Chains A and B, each alone.
Chain A
């Protein structure tokens, strides 16, 4: 069955995942349409990051199904590398390669994995670094960049693979308040350009602003979902209300 753009780009159905005796995901279902921006919020340890890691097969699931563009992610026959070309991921700790310059960080995967022409990739890398407002920092090593700058290099690095969907795992959680903004601006631009984005975030203001749908998770299940407007204005579930009252 071929996938068509009117079907969900990412679709999770009844996803279960345990680490040892701890059940982290207890039946999570969500759909992301193409071009949509989804924010997942919730207290720590509620399984948000694990869900993202399951979507690009960094973590295997125990039960249920996850499809990306109609392809089952946890099919043992699946070409994991093909999946990961479609799904970009940005991490809380940036995880840049410290022995490579910003430009090399961006260029490495397209050149070695996609075997694209080095000249062409280099041009694209310059363009992407300009897009995340890091022109002039191409030759800098990660150790010489601030947290916010490193995180933007990481975003450019993911974009260089031309993914169909981007996963952001608490990308601003390790940043100073001043540098959070520059990263959020970059993500908002991406969302506005029509990139499909899945964000795990604690930035409620940002979630309200960019999200098409907000999901609230607690203890491994999705407690509540809705458009930002209704979610923040009248949350129905007591757990959501409690969480929101603590943060807002």
Chain B
């Protein structure tokens, strides 16, 4: 029976351990820790192999579907190829919605975040409330609210401005985004050392000048990684718009399946949808990690 010497730590600096619970994972954890030490930053949990797995699922499911369908049916990959323009046009719509929602959310969220650090208590409390409300409400509920609360057109005098579903969906998705951006801005401003405020106050800058010329320029770097992270999350959330009937990729996939009326296509088509999102969001995730590494706070 071996006993651990009394003052030896459960896991030493090299990542080795003699604690039974840690043994199964010890080797891989040690390797990972070694690589992270080398890089000086945490490794991303997602990598390109996950994309390969998705691709493999797509191909295998296509093969299985093919085998089940039997002879005389159009090959699965050919069906997929035939519908690809429709699906990809749907995906483009997802991207457009994500861009617009992000733009609106960032613009309003930045102001909301600045209001959260206002010196006027009513402004501060009000913006805090709005931020917390939209940040802690389910995205889908907000989406439904916008769908059913907003009219389908606006009439100003004789002018009729149509308000299609996808615009309403964009507004609905921009609500949680603006709340998250608001928190990112507030957090970044608060993370700037108070000495910067004191120094600029002692140089007779007024509050507005301090904020716009000294504090916010220093915040941009800090805000970029969480902001991009938020964008990736938003992009993945755009498929929620399918539930309220916007013709984005998920909706189109459903329509394709309905038109083909072949249950064997289910897995291949949805795998393709997954793959598209992975291919789009993965580079953003990697880029975010790279930026985080570059902007790491040096103490």
Contacts and interface: CB of A to CB of B under 8 A. Distances in A.
Nearest to B202: A89
Contacts of B203: 84, 108-109, 113, 157-158, 161
Interface string A47-85: 000000100101000000000000000000000011011
B202 A87 contact: yes
B153 to A, nearest CB: 47
B214 A95 contact: no
Contacts of B14: none
Contacts, number: 54
Contacts of B213: 108, 112
Contact of A91 (B195, B206, B217): B195
Nearest to B217: A99
Nearest to A109: B203
B199 interface: yes
B17 interface: no
Interface residues on B, range: 10 to 19
B46 interface: no
A141 interface: no
A88 B202 contact: yes
A217 B271 CA distance: 74
Chain A binding surface SS class:
mixed
A91 B204 contact: no
A161 B199 contact: no
Interface residues on A, range: 20 to 34
B198 interface: yes
Contacts of A82: 204
A98 B209 CA distance: 16
A93 interface: yes
B202 A58 contact: yes
Contacts of B205: 109, 112-113
Contacts of B196: 95, 97
Nearest to B298: A143
A91 B217 CA distance: 22
B202 A81 contact: no
Contact of A84 (B193, B204, B209, B218): B204
A102 B108 CA distance: 34
Contacts of B199: 89, 91, 95-97, 154
B201 interface: yes
Interface in A91-148: 91, 93, 95-99, 108-109, 112-113
Contacts of A157: 203
A84 B214 CA distance: 17
Interface of B: 193, 195-196, 198-206, 209, 213-214, 217-218
18 contacts: A53-B198, A56-B202, A84-B201, A84-B202, A85-B204, A87-B202, A89-B199, A91-B195, A93-B193, A97-B196, A97-B200, A97-B218, A109-B203, A112-B209, A113-B203, A113-B205, A158-B202, A161-B203
Give the top 9 A-B pairs by smallest Cβ distance, nearest first.
A95-B199, A95-B195, A84-B204, A89-B202, A109-B203, A81-B204, A113-B204, A85-B204, A99-B217
Given A113-B203, A158-B203, 8 more contacts: A53-B198, A56-B202, A89-B199, A97-B199, A97-B200, A97-B214, A109-B203, A157-B203
